[in-house]
Amino acid sequence: MHKKSIYFILSVILLGCILSTALSMLIGFVLPDGVVREFFILSKSFGFGAPEGNWVNLGPLRFKVGLFFDVSILSIFGIFISWYILRYFK
């Protein structure tokens, strides 16, 4: 039995999330304003670095730090589709 590496699994899941986010942006561009469009483009950001005072100050060196994940309905759907592809198409 061929075992898949963790890097391959994470790459396929990330690719599914990226493609579904692109689909969400396309739907937001194509559909007219309304409830259906708002449902598909609704997303929630998780991460750190959003406040104004998020500078890391080390004396002469000062920089900003931040990492965000935008989660939408279609990105979750894309994760499940890519997981299905990994599970059932060996």
Task: Give the pLDDT confidence score for residue 52 in this predicted structure.
Answer: 67
Task: Give the pLDDT confidence score for residue 90 in this predicted structure.
Answer: 64
For residue 70 the two structure tokens come to: 């935008």
Q: What values do phi and psi take at 3, rounded to 5?
A: -100, 130
Task: Give the pLDDT confidence score for residue 1 in this predicted structure.
Answer: 53
Domain positions in the chain: 6-88
Q: Which positions of the chain have pLDDT values less than 70?
A: 1, 50-52, 90
- The DSSP string of the chain is -PPPPHHHHHHHHHHHHHHHHHHHHHHHHHSPSSHHHHHHH-EEEEEE--STT-EEE-SS-EEE--EEEEEEHHHHHHHHHHHHHHHH--
